[in-house]
Amino acid sequence: MSIDPARGITLRAAELNARLRSLEEQLAAIRNARSDATADDEHDPEGSTLSSEWSGVEGQRADVARELAGLGTALERVAAGTYGICASCGRPIPPARLELLPGATLCVPCASGR
Ligand SMILES: [Zn+2]
């Protein structure tokens, strides 16, 4: 193989960790804004905006955390020599798919439930 999968995974993980940090900072900022708003507020027009902003950012954070967990599994598979092999049918996962989703453990037909 010409590409080193562990390197791609590590780079992607570094990128995701940076995003995770910035999302957590945003969540902390929203939390502060929200507790200020609750502290001196009577009718809560801003509260709901902050809540929907919160769930948007929290959703992104969950996605990033999930992908990071998948990358951890992918690294274990590299070490075990099973990286790039579909966990379900045992056929190779196309490199283009791995490039897009370094944490993929299923080939396209298996991932789509066929
Ligand atoms: Zn498969």
- 11-24 pLDDT, tens digit per residue, is 999 999 999 999 99
Average pLDDT, the chain: 87
Average pLDDT over residues 71-78: 92
Asked whether residue 88 carries a pLDDT value surpassing 60, the answer given is yes
Answer for the pair 110, 45: CB distance below 8 angstroms, yes or no: no
Give me the pLDDT at residue 102, please: 87
104 falls within a domain: no
Report how far ligand 1's centroid is from the alpha carbon of 44 (Å): 51
Q: How far is the CA of 109 from the centre of ligand 1 (A)?
A: 6
Q: How far is the CA of 105 from the centre of ligand 1 (A)?
A: 9
Residue 51 lies in a domain: yes
User: In this structure, is residue 108 part of a structural domain?
Assistant: no
Tens digit of each residue's pLDDT (9 = 90 or more) over 39-69? 555 556 666 788 899 999 999 999 999 999 9
Mapping DSSP onto H, E and C, the string for 42-95 reads CCCHHHHHHHHHHHHHHHHHHHHHHHHHHHHHHHHHHHHCCCCECCCCCCECCH
For residue 88, being part of any structural domain is answered with: no
Q: Which two tokens stand for residue 49?
A: 């905006």
What residues make up the domain containing 43?
5-82
- Residue from 79, 74, 95 nearest 16 by CA: 74
Number of domains into which the chain is organized: 1
Q: Of the ranges 36-40, 41-45, 97-101, 109-113, which one carries the lowest mean pLDDT score?
A: 41-45
Asked if residue 40 is part of any domain, the answer here is yes
Q: Is the pLDDT of residue 6 over 60?
A: yes
Q: Which residue has the higher pLDDT, 73 or 1?
A: 73
